[in-house]
Amino acid sequence: MTDHKMNDWWRGCVIYQVYPRSYQDTNGDGVGDLRGITQRLEYIASLGVDAIWISPFFRSPMRDFGYDVSDFCDVDPLFGTLADADALIKKADQLGLRIIVDMVLNHTSDQHPWFIESSSSRDNPKADWYVWADPKPDGTPPNNWLSVFGGSSWQWHTRRKQYYLHNFLKEQPDVNFHSPNVQDALMEIMEFWLKRGVKGFRFDATNFYVHDAALRDNPIHDHLNDPQDHVPDINPYGMQQHIYDQSRPETLTFLARVRALLNRYDAAMGMAELGALDAYQLIGEYSSGDKYLHMGYGFQFLNPKFSASYVAQVVQRMEANIQDGWPCWAFSNHDAARPVTRWNPKAGMEQAFSHMLLSLLLSLRGSVCMYQGEELGLPEADIAYEEIQDPYGLEFWPEFKGRDGCRTPMPWDHTQAHAGFSTVKPWLPVRDTHQSLAVSTQESDAASSLSIARKLIKWRKQHSAMVNGAIDLQQVRPDLVRIARKNATESFVVYVNFSAEPTSIAVSNAEVALVSDHPLAASARLDAGILYLQGYGVAVVRT
């Protein structure tokens, strides 16, 4: 069993991300809802995960599918009611699952009452609750800051005759963290949900919170030689060093307030989403000790790069920067193409590749986020232009198709229309490739991705060295990594073959016995000091 304290449950935990629009529709409108998540909680519990991160379900105009919030203290009717949220939290607690809410504090919807009041004049009580600035003398925006979703991050407002800042859509104005009143209001929102029983928050776009009050221009970034992991190369956003519109030092002052609030509630956890060039340093800084948040979540593995050398580089760089902080790793989420497609395994070996990925993810030092359908080995769904819902995809089509391909409905039953997600045409289509990988087809197959995922999570939990032990990850061959995990009571070495071709390597005298109960033990054998690995094979050796 794990040896961390109950109030440190988050350290090495496995979190399952649910995108509520696409999990389970219970009212026949083609969109998933909170009752659908509640209905599927036994399934989630059967995976062996510790917590569920639920993407935003607050009241919203849905210009960015819930990440544009118009009321943080109510559930959007599309997803249900506050009573449904309470029922979900209660049942999850009964099953030993902690609910983590996706808290979007950086911005609101332009339909939020705060923005409606703030934009009404320059002298109303909430006039400074958003980031307003006068134009340059020639009428252009105050500086060169860019929006992640394309174009300038400044939008002209005719009533105030000023620009307002929006790091994402123009319908998502940034709140002003330099205002004490704004910070107080955000603290009240978090406490509203903590009192309802949630066990923490995943903080969206955490390093975007505070802007440079002097509005200085960002310098140029050499994007050709140093592309940013979290930005598609067709997006000019990657051409700037974002040192003035994000990652400002004042952010830590606010996060200290957040940590003090979380500490007042039973083992509540805070996780920062950090997309930035200096994400390694930020994760270490934002999760250092017990001053700020508990862990940081980066984009290092949410891009097309994938090789033994890249994984080694990322993990070594994280270990060099993390200090006493704590990372949370993810290979997929609602913003990234599914890895079984993105990382392009050999045709016909997608299942073995999926198993290898889950084993690698669960072998890293840190906590882990799995995204719905990852346990099924789902590939990216191909979405035609006329089916696109994502504004990001519409802006950068066809070079970037957006995020809809990873957001399609969860396939539950291959015998039912729309794979049992809904009784009507869903908001995004269910492709045949997903129908064939439905939960119903994998439940009784001991070799399926679902079965392997359950076994891998269980095996990790049974070995404290894999949960909270030290790590030494090295690339030992062009397509082979060696991961040493060790604590005071256990020591393991994990070998991962990144190639579809078999490989072998001589191991040390200390590595004498394969761990036979590891779920992927059949993909390797040890004979006379030589370790043989199948294509995409994984071996765990006790040392």
Q: What is the DSSP string of 526-539?
A: EETTEEEE-TT-EE
The predicted structure's pLDDT at residue 228 = 72
* Mean pLDDT taken over the chain: 95
If pLDDT is split at 50, 70 and 90, which confidence band does 99 have?
very high
Say how far apart CA 170 and CA 331 lie, in whole Å. 29
Within a domain: 355? yes
Say if residue 88 is in the same domain as residue 232. Answer: yes
The predicted structure's pLDDT at residue 230 = 67
Within a domain: 448? no
1: pLDDT strictly greater than 50: no
Convert the pLDDT of each residue in 372-412 to its tens digit.
Answer: 999 999 999 999 999 999 988 888 888 888 899 999 999 99
For residue 258, report the phi and psi dihedrals to the nearest 5 degrees.
Answer: -60, -45
Say if residue 380 is in the same domain as residue 474. Answer: no
Say if residue 215 is in the same domain as residue 286. Answer: yes
Say if residue 227 is in the same domain as residue 346. Answer: yes
DSSP state of 115: H
Residue type, 257: R
Within a domain: 501? yes
Number of helical H runs and strand E runs in the chain: 15, 21
Within a domain: 131? no
Token digits for 378?
């789902």
Say if residue 395 is in the same domain as residue 494. Answer: no
Pick the closest to residue 388 from 374, 371, 372, 408 (CA basis): 408
Task: List the CATH number of the domain containing 497.
Answer: 2.60.40.1180
Say if residue 380 is in the same domain as residue 524. Answer: no
Within a domain: 427? no
Within a domain: 361? yes
Tell me the pTM. Answer: 0.96
Least-confidence region, from 203-212, 284-293, 388-397, 460-469: 388-397
- Contact (CB, 8 A) for 500 and 529: no
Say if residue 379 is in the same domain as residue 514. Answer: no
Look-up of token digits 């995922």: 453
DSSP states of 6-51: GGGTTTT-EEEEE-GGGT--SSSSSS--HHHHHHTHHHHHHTT-SE
Say if residue 328 is in the same domain as residue 249. Answer: yes
List of residues 6+ apart from 44 with CB closer than 8 A = 16, 18, 52, 97
Say how far apart CA 206 and CA 189 lie, in whole Å. 16
CA distances from 419 to 42, 46, 203, 415, 425 (A): 18, 20, 32, 7, 11
Structural Rg of the chain based on CA atoms? 23
Which 3 state secondary structure label does DSSP give 213?
coil
Query: Across the strands, what pairs with 200?
Result: 269
Convert the pLDDT of each residue in 284-335 to its tens digit.
Answer: 999 998 999 999 999 999 999 999 999 999 999 999 999 999 999 999 999 9
Active site positions, annotated: 204, 273
Q: Select from 397, 427, 459 the last residue of a domain.
A: 459
Number of residues written out for the chain: 543
For residue 117, report the phi and psi dihedrals to the nearest 5 degrees.
Answer: -70, -45
Token digits for 63?
């210009």
Within a domain: 129? no
Say if residue 388 is in the same domain as residue 515. Answer: no
List of residues 6+ apart from 253 with CB closer than 8 A = none
Pick the closest to residue 389 from 55, 148, 22, 63 (CA basis): 63
Say if residue 487 is in the same domain as residue 388. Answer: no
Task: List the CATH number of the domain containing 33.
Answer: 3.20.20.80
Say how far apart CA 31 and CA 422 lie, in whole Å. 8
- Residue 281's domain spans which residues? 6-107+180-406+453-459
Convert the pLDDT of each residue in 133-172 to its tens digit.
Answer: 999 999 999 999 999 999 999 999 999 999 999 999 999 9
Token digits for 293?
């948040």
Q: Select from 459, 478, 503 the last residue of a domain.
A: 459
Convert the pLDDT of each residue in 332-351 to its tens digit.
Answer: 999 999 999 999 999 999 99
Within a domain: 85? yes
Ramachandran quadrant class, 523 (left: phi over 0; alpha: psi -120 to 50; beta: rest): alpha
Burial class for 114, CB neighbours closer than 10 Å (0-12, 13-18, 19+)? middle
Q: Select from 415, 441, 459 the last residue of a domain.
A: 459
Convert the pLDDT of each residue in 44-63 to its tens digit.
Answer: 999 999 999 999 999 999 99
Say if residue 480 is in the same domain as residue 378. Answer: no
Least-confidence region, from 22-26, 452-456, 511-515: 511-515
Say if residue 79 is in the same domain as residue 219. Answer: yes
Say how far apart CA 382 and CA 404 lie, in whole Å. 9
Number of domains in the chain: 2
